[in-house]
Every structure is written in structure tokens, then in C-alpha cells.
Amino acid sequence: MIWNKLLGEFIDIIEWTDDSNDTLVYRFERYGNEIKNGAKLTVREGQAAIFVNEGELADVFAPGMYDLETQNLPILSTLQGWKYGFSSPFKAEVYFVSTRRFTDLKWGTKNPIMLRDPEFGPVRLRAFGTYTMQATDAPSLIREIVGTDGHFTIDEITNQLRNLIVSRFANIVGGSRIPVLDLAANYDDLGKFVADRIRPEFQAYGLDIPTLLIENISLPPAVEEALDKRTSMGVIGDLSRYTQYQTAEAITKAADNPGGMAAGGMGMGMGFAMANQMAQTMGAQQQPQAGPAAAPPPLPPQVSYYIAVNGQQAGPFDMNGLRGEQQAGRLTPDTLVWSQGMAGWTRAQEVTALGGLFQAGPPPLPGAA
């Protein structure tokens, strides 16, 4: 009994088998027992072990199996004054750090992000996605985050990391000036850019962010509804043809309604009434509507002519003016005339439009002597 009690005071195997999915740091429980000289330390893949002496970080062990002796504990030996080796049990805290990747960690915006879109103006965006986290510097993690916590889980730090991601994401998206409708095509680039931007801040905690994914960036429901209506109008295309199609469908449904009066006669009547109304509407859309006091179209412009009188150009004269010139004797069939569109000066009698000015008098009445 005494021998078993003495053996129970010493620890000869130090290891940690993690059966959880969220433990980041675990302190090996000693319950006041001392570590036996030459004890076995087993550090599995995806782990790192850190010895702490009276609150001060000492030796760090990578994956492998170790016999805890002076040569394997140089820093602890110095701290405890083991100048010539030791053979007695010793006390030290042992922390195991999980260095595997923690995947499918969620991030998202609690409140909408305000930004100015080049097409829609001021808009509000929400975003969410996932990221992976990994401990890469176990001493920094113990020093900066864990402290003396004997069982540190990722839930104790994800809120802080999530806040970092959202803050940097808002700055990057707001400064990128990427139109809202083009954001989906840039999810991969934005995710990599955000991860690179916040990686130094993660590394200050002894962590790394290997991957950050953007799953969705969304607009408020009211704005999305307006976009859906705009998209629907684009899909419909020709509104008049769509209206005709809808009218035909309505007529068919009205005619097939067995609950109408007079064995469906009322349904047929309503259908034809709808068709007549839609036809009138379509006709009104296709024809320009005249107002109650529509003005008549303007009169066609009168053609003016220039005439040559004694080697000089005179005019222009409209038809009334030409008649006056003809009566005054200055315009004869041989007088040269010109108007806009004519190739050159032409004798008046050769211009068809002026033929009426030089008609001879009327023929004699029939039966006159």
C-alpha cells in the first residue's frame, strides 16, 4: 500500500488525447503530483507541448516521443538550476496546444455595411462566410491569449476574430468601388484579400488564417425585391406581346370556369369583354393620341424664284410676286429663272411649275360664229 502510494505521487507518462473538436489549449493535469525524472512525453501530430516553470515559458516540444532528461529540457534546467543533471522528480506545468486546422468557423456582419454604389447610390450590404484557423506559434498563443486557462476552446476567441474579419471586410469592400452587381464575381479575390489583410493581426495572437471564404453578400429585402421586378421586366421583353398572352390565358380560364352563371356563359362573356378592353388598350398604345385641341400640321413652304431682268438678278418672288412681274412685262416665257434645287438658270417656259403663268387665252366657245 505504501509503495503504491509513493508510485502514485510521480507522473511517468505525459500525453494528451483530444476527443473534442473545439479544444485549442489543454493543461496537463498533475493534481500536485511531480513529474518523474526520465518520464515519457508523447506529442502527437497536430500538437505542441510547452513546459512552464513558475509562470515562465520554458521548453517547447514538437510531435514525437521524448525522455524528459536534462538534455531535453535545457531551458527548464537553467530555470531550476540543474547544473550537473538531476535525478529527482520536478514540478512544471505542461500545456498541450492543438496545431491542427479548425475548419468551418463562421463569420458574418451583425449590422449592415453602408457604402456608395456607382449604379444604385447609397446601399446597405450584409455578408457572411466561413474561415479556417490554425495555431502556428504556441508560445505567443499562451502568452497573448490563453494565460493560465487550463482548458481553452476556440469559442473563447472566435468572437474577437470574427470582429476583426468584419471590420477589415467593411474597409476593403467600401474602398474597392466594385459595383454591387459585380461583387459575386469577385468573392474569391475579396476572400484572399481580406485574409491577407488580417493575417498579421492573427499572427500577433500566434494564429494563422489559411482560408477565408465569402459565401454571400446580400442587399436588404426591399432592394432585392425591386431588383427582382427589374429583372422580371427584362425577361418579359416585349410588354405588348406579353399582355396579349396574358389576355388569352385569362379568356381560357374564364371559359373553363364551371362555376360561372348559365353553364359558363358568364365566364365567356367576361373573357370576351376582357379581350375587347385589352384590344382597345393595345390600339390606343399603338396609335398616337391626339389632344382635344390638336393643331393642324404646318402648310408646305412656297417655292420662291429668282428672275433675270436686264442682266440683273431680282427676287426671290413667290407665285403671286411672279404674276405681278409677268403682268408688268418683266417676266416672259424666255426670261431666265432659278430656284433652290435647280441645276442652273432656265427659261421660264421650260419650268413646269411656272407653266400656268404663260397659258394662252381660253379657246372660243363651241357654236360661236
Render 314-358 in DSSP notation, one character per residue: EEEE-HHHHHHHHHTTS--TTSEEE-TT-SS-EEGGG-GGGGGGG
Residues 91 and 114 in one domain: no
Quickly tell me which residue has 493543461 as its cell.
Answer: 27
pLDDT (tens digit per residue) in 62-106: 999 999 888 888 888 888 877 666 777 888 899 999 999 999 999
Total tally of structural domains belonging to the chain = 4
User: Is residue 209 assigned to a domain?
Assistant: yes
The pLDDT assigned to 263 comes to 45
The pLDDT assigned to 261 comes to 45
Amino acid identity of residue 217, one-letter, is I
The pLDDT assigned to 183 comes to 87
Q: Which three cell numbers mark 126?
A: 450584409
The pLDDT assigned to 148 comes to 82
Residues 258 and 329 in one domain: no
Query: CB neighbours of 192 closer than 8 A, spacing ≥ 6?
Result: 212
Beta bridge partners of 25: 97, 152
Residues of the chain with pLDDT under 70: 1-10, 31-33, 83-85, 228, 230-242, 244-246, 255, 257-294, 299-301, 359-369
User: Is residue 360 assigned to a domain?
Assistant: no
Residues 108 and 92 in one domain: no
Q: Which three cell numbers mark 52?
A: 512552464
Residues 105 and 211 in one domain: yes
Sheet holding 64-67, edge to edge: 10-14, 34-43, 64-67
User: Is residue 141 assigned to a domain?
Assistant: no
User: Is residue 361 assigned to a domain?
Assistant: no
Residues 127 and 88 in one domain: no
> Which of 167, 185, 220 finishes a domain?
220
Residues 80 and 111 in one domain: no
User: Is residue 212 assigned to a domain?
Assistant: yes
Residues 24 and 35 in one domain: yes
Nearest to 197 by CA among 164, 154, 239: 164
Residues 207 and 112 in one domain: yes
Residues 14 and 105 in one domain: no
User: Is residue 291 assigned to a domain?
Assistant: no
Residues 68 and 29 in one domain: yes
The pLDDT assigned to 5 comes to 45
Quickly tell me which residue has 362555376 as its cell.
Answer: 259
User: Is residue 364 assigned to a domain?
Assistant: no
pTM: 0.58
Quickly tell me which residue has 356563359 as its cell.
Answer: 265
Residues 29 and 118 in one domain: no
The pLDDT assigned to 1 comes to 43
Q: Which domain holds residue 351?
A: 305-355
